[in-house]
Amino acid sequence: MNARTLYDKLWDDHVVRTEQDGTTLLYIDRHLVHEVTSPQAFEGLRLAGRKPWRSGAVIATPDHNVPTKNRSGGISDPVARIQVETLDSNCREFGITEFGMNDVRQGVVHVVGPEQGLILPGMTVVCGDSHTSTHGAMGTLAFGIGTSEVEHVLATQCLIQKKSKSMRVRIDGTLAHGVTAKDIVLAIIGEIGTAGGTGYVIEFAGEAIQSLSMEGRMTVCNMTIEAGARAGIVAVDDKTIDYIKGRSHAPAGEQWDAAEAIWRNLHSDEGAVFDREVVLDASRIAPQVTWGTSPEMVVPVSGRVPDPGREQDATKAEGMRRALDYMGLEAGTPITDIPLDLVFIGSCTNGRIEDLRAAAEIVRGRKVAATISQALVVPGSGLVKAQAEVEGLDKIFTTAGFEWREPGCSMCLAMNADQLKPGERCASTSNRNFEGRQGKDGRTHLVSPPMAAAAAIAGHFVDIREMRGIE
Amino acid sequence: MEKFVKFTGTVAPLDRSNVDTDAIIPKQFLKSIRRSGFGPNLFDEWRYLDQGEPDQDCSNRPINPDFVLNDPRYRHAGILLARDNFGCGSSREHAPWALADYGFKVIIAPSFADIFFNNCFKNGILPIVLKANIIDELFSLASADEPLEILVDLQNQRLTPAGSGAIEFEIEEFRKHCLLEGLDDIGLTLQHSEQIRQFETKRRTKAPWVFLT
Ligand code: SF4
């Protein structure tokens, strides 16, 4: 057989039928559901008198709308409450397992899935959420879908798809101290642009990717969507296997052995051909900070806010001007001179235990700057929160002046009460710096967890590679 | 779904690239559990000067006179003209719901984000990709004093700006067929139920761990 890419293998294993024009019916193994993009899909099922094809494939948890404090009082926003209650009742009606708001396993759906061993190598995974790409880190084909497709998968366990092109992004070499998975993926987006991956599935490879923990790989795959790609994947290796072994929903005993043997083949064959290859040198990646209103508007922390006057492309220059205006920044300002108002550590990009550990490492024994009005840590799931508390991370954060919250999406998209006020500037470990994303007229700078932590201490961005006492 | 065969409408030129779905319909409106009623909040943060809230009467809100849809020439536009990477970001189908609810049937851009592009077809919106130089031309035509009217003919894959020659566009056969016939995807797929079941049985043998839940 021809040498196949990992994407080819995952695709081939799930083809139910293919039409002449290549339109394919693809079987879906795992379907994650949250409260925002599902109500209309369940309603559609009801109206058509349909039932889920395989309710066991579906796992639900509310995350976008849930409050991150005072949960015992329920959800005070009546519209949000109805949405979360609608998820509860839909799951009951259709026999779907849900980790409800007060279940310790609740959390951001993309943190919960892998944590529960619900995402296994070789699976196809979908969710009505663009950051479903996260799960590609486990050697799965995972991508976000719209609500009509959520309904389609619920009803048929399949999705109508056309195969994407394949791209390999290879990160050679090793990262400098203080440089993280987040910086890798921001650097990739800076390199290929937010539309650079459109029409592709990206496989991340190379020494620097292999050296990442599973959490780090999830961070990279998570933001594949910010590069415009359909999905991001990483080949299965020892780390994948070790990560999955023993998790609640992972196979055990003989079945584990059989599974492991198959999973070990989930890598691109020697000589497999990609439609596009991009190579980056890890040692040249610095901690990244976005300065604008698109994730591709990113520079190294040692850099300056760029000058639209130097951009050749007129549409781009206009976009840069608009972004600077929105962000309230002057071209040429050193990134480390940008003062901040808030800091947010959390989200499906950087709300896992390793992220909290890395941030706590910086925070330990220090205090949040007086000029920072709010510094939030929102664990990605109830279990991440519990683990962090066992390790005493919560104390490190609260002693320093951070707020320690309940798990959810929180200020990543500010659907709940955690929002920026107009003009406020936030260092955020989330994934989108769009206009209004964290609150109307709020300003978002995307960074890694240690960079966010250091910014909270200093009140402005600092290059953590040079950090000692922090000024 | 309603059939899409031919459509004539005026063009609103939205001269920005990377228009994301957060801008198309901001998050506070995502709390709705319905599919309809998003039109008044389409581009809410750009369109109005105050902060929009769900279930609010939008008719008395202060509008941003600089935003294209508030220009009297474009208020009743049915075709949206935009720049690169339109619809990027969140997968929310509320974005095409809001566009359709406002009255947009066609969106023309040099490129679209993947999930948004898919979502359009599920809602009777036709996204058309054209070369950047043609887009530039359409922008200059659409920015004239008189609004530009375009006839879109899906069957023949052609759009004709009033007073100019026809422009051809590409579309996948299957998607075209579904739009022309107004087909419900789920019904179509369920015609293959037997085949799905057979596939599932094989998969259960090959990868039983997938079916543990
Ligand atoms: S944490 Fe943010 S990006 Fe992730 S699922 Fe929630 S809202 Fe979406």
Count of beta carbons in the 10 Å neighbourhood of residue B187 = 12
Please tell me which of the candidates B16, B196, B209 has its beta carbon nearest to residue A255.
B209
Task: State which ligand 1 atom lies nearest to the alpha carbon of A412.
Answer: 2
How are beta strands B79-81 and B106-109 bridged, if at all? parallel
Ligand 1 pocket test, pick from A37, A109, A110 with the greatest ligand atom count within 8 Å of Cβ, gives A110
What is d(CA B43, CA B22) in angstroms, rounded to the nearest whole number? 9
CA of A143 to the centre of ligand 1 (A): 14
CB A455 within 8 A of CB A461: yes
Residue of A26, A16, A27, A21 lying closest to B177 (CA atoms)? A21
Is there a contact between B91 and A128 if contact means CB atoms under 8 Å apart?
yes
Rg (CA), chain B: 20
| Shared-domain flag, residues B31 and B85 | yes
3-state secondary structure of B135: helix
Mutate to test the pocket of ligand 1, among A63, A185, A416 (most ligand atoms within 8 A of CB): A63
Best residue of A59, A156, A444 to probe chain B, by most B CBs closer than 10 Å: A156
Q: Are residues B112 and B69 in the same domain?
A: yes
Cβ-Cβ contacts under 8 Å, A247 against chain B: none
Same domain membership, residue B187 and residue B175: no
What is the per-residue pLDDT for B31? 94
B45 reaches A (C-beta below 8 A): yes
Query: Nearest 5°: CA angle at A351, between A396 and A71?
Result: 80
Are B39 and B21 within one domain? yes
Interface confidence: ipTM more than 0.85: yes
Residue B1 lies in a domain: no
- Cα–Cα distances (Å) from A224 to A132, A170, A211, A287, A455, in that order, read 10, 14, 18, 18, 25
Q: Which of A189, A426, A190, A188 is nearest to A303 (CA)?
A: A190
**Residue A137 · residue A231 · CB < 8 Å:** no
Give me the helix-helix angle, A393-400 and A382-390, nearest 10°: 90
Rg of chain A, C-alpha, whole Å: 22
Closest CA to A217 of A206, A228, A229, A230: A206
Clarify whether residues B109 and B200 are in a common domain: no
Quote the ligand 1 centre to A110 CA distance (angstroms). 8
Cβ-defined contact of B196 to A156 (cutoff 8 Å): yes
What pLDDT is stored for residue A353 in this prediction? 98
d(CA B158, CA B140): 20
Q: b/e per residue, A178-188, with b = 16+ CB within 10 A? A: bbbbbbbbbbb
For residue B89, give the nearest of A50, A146, A434 by CB distance. A434
Q: What are phi and psi of B80, to 5 degrees?
A: -105, 130
Partners of A418 in the β-ladder? none
Q: Which of A160, A255, A434 sits opposite B185 (nearest CB)?
A: A160
The answer to whether residue B25 is domain-embedded is: yes
Q: Judge if B161 and B212 occupy the same domain.
A: no
Instruction: List chain A residues with CB under 8 Å of B210.
Output: 29-30, 120, 122-123
SS (H, E, C) chain A: CCCCCHHHHHHHCCEEEECCCCCEEEECCEEEECCCCCHHHHHHHHHHCCCCCCHHHEEECCCCCCCCCCHHHCCCCHHHHHHHHHHHHHHHHHCCEECCCCCCCCECHHHHHHHCCCCCCCCEEEECCHHHHHHHHHCCEEEECCHHHHHHHHHHCEEEECCCEEEEEEEECCCCCCCCHHHHHHHHHHHHCCCCCCCEEEEEECHHHHHCCHHHHHHHHHHHHHHCCCEEEECCCHHHHHHHCCCCCCCCHHHHHHHHHHHCCCCCCCCCCCCEEEEEEHHHCCCEEECCCCCCCEEECCCECCCHHHCCCHHHHHHHHHHHHHHCCCCCCEHHHCECCEEEECHHHHCCHHHHHHHHHHHCCCCCCCCCCEEEECCCEHHHHHHHHHCCHHHHHHHHCCEECCCCCHHHCCCCCCCCCCCCEEEECCCCCCCCCCCCCCEEEECCHHHHHHHHHHCECCCHHHCCCCC
Q: Which domain holds residue B204?
A: 183-213
Dist. CA A59–CA A133, nearest whole Å = 17
For residue B196, give the DSSP letter.
H
Tokens of A79: 């519209």
A250 touches chain B (CB under 8 A): yes
CATH number of the domain where residue B38 is located: 3.20.19.10
Q: Is A198 on the interface with B (CB under 8 A)?
A: yes
Query: A268 vs chain B: nearest CA distance in angstroms?
Result: 20
Dist CA A159 CA A25 (whole Å): 6
Q: Are residues B13 and B69 in the same domain?
A: yes
Report pLDDT for A469: 61
Q: Are residues B142 and B205 in the same domain?
A: no
The verdict on residue B71 lying in a domain is: yes
Q: Atom of ligand 1 at shortest distance to CA of A430?
A: 2
Per-residue tens of pLDDT for chain A, all 471 residues: 689 999 999 999 999 999 998 999 999 999 999 999 999 999 999 999 999 999 999 999 999 999 999 898 899 999 999 999 999 999 999 999 999 999 999 999 999 999 999 999 999 999 999 999 999 999 999 999 999 999 999 999 999 999 999 999 999 999 999 999 999 999 999 999 999 999 999 999 999 999 999 999 999 999 999 999 999 999 999 999 999 999 999 999 999 999 999 999 999 999 999 999 999 999 999 999 999 999 999 999 999 999 999 999 988 999 999 999 999 999 999 999 999 999 999 999 999 999 999 999 999 999 999 999 999 999 999 999 999 999 999 999 999 999 999 999 999 999 988 999 999 999 999 999 999 999 999 999 999 999 999 999 999 999 999 886 654
What is the CB neighbour count within 10 angstroms for residue A246? 10
B189 and B117 belong to one structural domain? no
Give the number of domains in chain B.
2
What separation in Å is there between the alpha carbon of A69 and the centre of ligand 1? 18
Residue-level pLDDT at A54: 98
Dihedrals phi, psi of A160, to nearest 5 degrees: -90, 120
Structure tokens that stand for A375 in this block: 């510094």
* Pocket residues: Cβ below 6 A from ligand 1: A 63-64, 108, 110, 129, 131, 347-348, 409, 412-413, 430-431
Instruction: Give domain status of residue B116, yes or no.
Output: yes
A346 alpha carbon to ligand 1 midpoint, in Å? 9
Nearest CA to ligand 1 atom 6: A409
Do B41 and B132 reside in the same domain of the chain? yes
For every one of its 213 residues, what pLDDT tens digit does chain B have, with 9 covering 90 and above? Answer: 889 999 999 999 999 999 999 999 999 999 999 999 999 999 999 999 999 999 899 999 999 999 999 999 999 999 999 999 999 999 999 999 999 999 999 999 999 999 999 999 999 999 999 999 999 999 999 999 999 999 999 999 999 999 999 999 999 999 999 999 998 899 999 999 999 999 999 999 999 999 999
- B37/B107 same-domain check: yes
DSSP designation for B204: H
Pocket mutation for ligand 1, best pick of A83, A348, A418 (most atoms within 8 Å of C-beta):
A348
- Ligand 1 geometric centre to CA of A412 (Å): 6
B186 in contact with chain A, both atoms CB, cutoff 8 A: yes
Whole-number Å distance between alpha carbons of B3 and B5: 6
Same domain assignment for residues B124 and B108: yes
CB pair distance less than 8 Å for A434 and B20: yes
Task: Assess contact for A359 and A449: CB atoms under 8 A.
Answer: yes
Q: How far apart are CA A233 and CA A142, in angstroms?
A: 8
Examine residue B68 and state whether it is found in any structural domain, yes or no.
yes
Q: Which pLDDT value is given to residue B140? A: 96
Q: Which of A131, A39, A107 is nearest to A79 (CA)?
A: A39
Pairing of strands A124-127, A30-33: parallel
Min Cα–Cα distance to chain A from B97, Å: 10
* In contact, A343 and A375? CB cutoff 8 Å: yes
The residue among B206, B209, B211, B212 with the most chain A CBs within 10 A of its CB, best to mutate, is: B209
B101 occurs within a structural domain: yes
Instruction: Kindly report the number of other CB atoms within 10 A of residue A361's CB atom.
Output: 13
